[in-house]
Amino acid sequence: MATEVTAPVRGMHCAACVGKVEHALTSVAGVESASVNLATERATIAFDPAQTDFARLRAAVEAAGYELSEPPPPAEAADAVDRERAAREAEQRAQRRKFSVGAILSVPVLLGGMSHVFPWVPAALREPWLLFALTTPVQFWVGWQFHRGFLHDLRYRTASMSTLVSIGTGAAYLFSVAVTLWPHAFAGHGAVTYYDVSAVVITLVVLGRWLEARARGRTSEAIRRLVSLAPRTARVLRDGREADVPTAAVLVGDLIRIRPGERIPVDGAVTEGASTVDESMLTGESLPVEKAPEARVFAGTVNRTGSFVFRAARVGSETTLARIIKLVEQAQGSRAPIQRLADRVAAVFVPIVLGLAALTFAAWWLLGPTPAGLMALTNAVAVLVIACPCAMGLATPTAIMVGTGRGAEFGVLIKSAAALELLHKCDTIVFDKTGTLTVGRPSVTDVVVVRAAGGATAEASGEMVSEDEVLALAAAAEQGSEHPLGEAIVARAKERGLALPPVGEFTTVPGQGIDAMAPDGRVLLGNRALMDARGIEVGALAGRARALAAEGKTAMYLALAGRPLGLVAAADVLKPEAAAAVAALKRLGLGVVMLTGDSRVTAEAIARQAGVERVLAEVLPEDKTREIQRLQAEGRRVAMVGDGINDAPALAQADVGIAMGSGTDVAIEAADVTLMRGDLRGAVAAVELSRRTIRVIQENLVWAFGYNTVLIPVAAGVLYPFWGVLLSPILAGAAMAFSSVSVVTNSLRLKRWRPQHGA
């Protein structure tokens, strides 16, 4: 069985690096798959531990010129996130410091090098030796990261963005040094220095690195916020004493005390006390949830009002919070199919750009106007510094990171980038009925009182009963029953605060109902067969019973002392938000189908209430997968929403499986998307988020490809023969610096996304 690890990768600078690390990993025997994410700087590797181990993987990555670090143990996840955050902040400070030094030194170099534009610049500032002195620290200290990357690329016979920047600025700098040392040798070729190109381009690219690092740091905020939800310690009751212990040391079965305002450290069930708990950070539900004995509580949620004790049930990596963090990390580290084109282009991008720069130099040298050498150098440098493979590498992962993190804030957990992309292509969504469209348990929907001759109620004719009395008597007869319908009747009577009359001698009549004895006579509660068997005429209620059955409800007759009193109807009712969710999905252009094993009459009644037009009823659990396959055979892209164990195969068969968080672990494991709140509007939100994220990815890719497709030829000088337009290397460097920033910034717009149709 394959082992999967996610480990940090260091030394990557652009999209070209991603392919090299992946190639190094997949070349190791026993590695089944490897996916590297530039935005998170992590590699997800699936390998056979019988054939290889992490040491070999690390050696392969090091041989390619990069560094693969050991993944942190689950117990140290919070510390690992803190270390990663500290490392990112340190990188940002270093880039900011280098930019500040570069800017201070580059401004006078720019003014002195462009004295024809700024005639008021003092003559001393135009002195080549002063420009040399100011530029050299920028070239070799501020820009050392690019030269080091170029040397690294030479050693491993590869190329990256550092290669382009180092060669481009190095050519401008060395030419300028040659002009400064031997000005007479270049007099015939235009003795012009390019110190301003070298200094300003490096400074602008470092500025881009700094801004990109800041923006990329914001894309991973969702993980940091989730990890920070878990408290570091827990107050455990052991041997009659309370002690604060590390959360990682809490054991299953430990009793833990929670006081007002504290976060819950692990999952469990309340044993003593009561309170309200804010679960919004896990489910998106804004209202606090009441907690009483036996109620479940979850790690990371916040206790509000009371104090209580709970017994730990899930600890460490098994808590709901830990599983959510793992799902979000998996999604952020995965790769969407839409990224494949960018990956293929990035693999050959830098060599192509080097070839185009060489071709540009040769063309201008041979065909350009005087001074041809300077024109050739200027345009070749512009081609080198304007090309940006980073934008292509960041286009997809940054949007995936922000989108999946934002979804988690609304209780929508998306397991992979592929699921996110597939969901936006789905045109049909299939809902399981019981527990998904409906609440999953019966409740009383109607109480009908028998009518006397002429249409008056029994109560108006002076006989006996009201609706409350019918309900109270039915509940009294059912209070010893464990049947779901009986429990629903008793629950409704308690909700209304009804006093139940004393009833004894309970007898269950198999397949028919209940026979009991009340002070006023024998009580019968059951179906028509029970009434007929006891000789009770219920013709006056038969029409209403048929109407209730047509609505998918179970109608039970109630009789006392041989006289019918009325009907009590119960049904598994539609969730309050179901109709609105179905309507919202239709507005989004999706076809909605209901799939259930219930009878067609019941299924169609629920479907009418929900607004679902296509119903697949009386489907056995093992046949649900076949129904999904039939829809797919019709050419449909199908998303399936379910919650039970019997839904798991259908969820796996669907193009995208969506599990209700209130459902079983098996269904959640089989699904691609999990709705933590169990609210159907989450399915609408998932579709909206998918479409919005893919739109942002498409915008990023259009920008990344369009930028390089349009501006590289402009930098090469293709517009010069027609309009005399040339692109300054300084402007080229500025454009390259901000191309990656623009892609990441566009992705960050997803942080402001909110569901429009869903909650």
Catalytic residue ranges: 432
> Which residues are registered as beta bridge partners of 275?
291
How far apart are the C-alpha atoms of 593 and 638, rounded to whole Å? 10
- The burial of 94, by beta-carbon neighbours within 10 Å (0-12 exposed, 13-18 middle, 19 or more buried), is given as middle
Residue 15 · residue 346 · CB < 8 Å: yes
Q: Which two tokens stand for residue 569?
A: 């109807």
d(CA 32, CA 51): 11
Task: Name 324's Cβ contacts closer than 8 Å, sequence gap at least 6.
Answer: 226, 282, 408, 413, 676
Sheet strands side by side (includes 275-278): 289-291, 275-278, 302-303
CB 680 within 8 A of CB 658: no
**Secondary structure (DSSP) of 277-344:** EE-HHHH---S-EEE-TT-EE-TT-EE-S--EEEEEEE-GGGSHHHHHHHHHHHHHHS--GGGHHHHH
Q: What secondary structure does DSSP assign to 456-479, as a single string?
A: -BTTTTTS---HHHHHHHHHHHHT
Q: Is 65 exposed, middle or buried (0-12, 13-18, 19+ CB in 10 A)?
A: buried
Task: Look up residue 368 and give its amino acid.
Answer: G
Report the distance separating Cα 576 and Cα 491, nearest Å. 19
Block residue for tokens 């679960």: 279
Amino acid at 410: F
**Does 265 sit behind a cis peptide bond, omega within 30 degrees of 0 on the bond before it?**
no
Provide the β-strand partners of residue 5: 45
> CA-to-CA distance for 584 and 696, rounded, in angstroms?
22
**In which element (H, E) is residue 154 found?**
helix 144-155
Query: Among residues 33, 746, 698, which one has the least CA distance to residue 339?
Result: 698
What is the sign, positive or negative, of the torsion defined by CA atoms of 606, 544, 571, 513? negative
| Alpha-carbon radius of gyration of the chain | 35
Alpha-carbon distance of 130 to 115, in angstroms, equals 14
Give CA 20 to chain center in angstroms. 27
Residue pair 514/528 in contact by the 8 Å Cβ criterion:
no
For 721, counting Cβ atoms within 10 Å of its Cβ (0-12 exposed, 13-18 middle, 19+ buried), the class is exposed
Q: Are strands 591-595 and 563-574 parallel, antiparallel or unpaired?
A: unpaired
